[in-house]
Amino acid sequence: QSVLTQPPSASATPGQRVIISCSGSSSNIGSKYVTWYQQSPGTAPKVLIYKNDQRPSGVPDRFSGSKSGTSASLAISGLRSEDEADYYCTSWDISLSGRLFGGGTKLTVL
């Protein structure tokens, strides 16, 4: 069981906004960066957000990240069919001296 907790699924219709949460603790999200990845079936993960709220070049500004205390969120606005994928949060854990991934959230665009 992941120490970073994400909802297993989320859904919304095209054009809507969806928020995916990631809950951790003071030893990970509370004190380290959060990164978000998008993974489509059969492909390797792709960075969406790093350093909590930074977008790599090429990632649309429809994707945004935030962090507050021991939780982080990924928001996707103007939802599109191609956003249907699995989304993972990750953070380093200073107590474990290891990296944690959330369990992943499967986003369905209805």
Which residues lie near another protein (CB under 8 A)? Answer: 2, 32-33, 35, 37, 39, 44-45, 47, 50-51, 54, 56, 86, 88, 90, 92, 96-104
Closer Cβ to another protein, 17 or 99, answer by number: 99
Closer Cβ to another protein, 66 or 78, answer by number: 66
CB of 27 to another protein, least distance (A): 14
Closer Cβ to another protein, 96 or 110, answer by number: 96
Q: Where are the beta strands (DSSP E) in 26-104?
A: 34-39, 46-49, 63-68, 71-76, 85-93, 98-101
CB of 61 to another protein, least distance (A): 18
Give the span between the Cα atoms of 47 and 57, in whole angstroms.
Answer: 10
Q: Dihedral, CA atoms, 10, 15, 16, 20, nearest 10 degrees?
A: 40
Residue 22's H or E segment, with its range, is: strand 18-23
Closer Cβ to another protein, 81 or 97, answer by number: 97
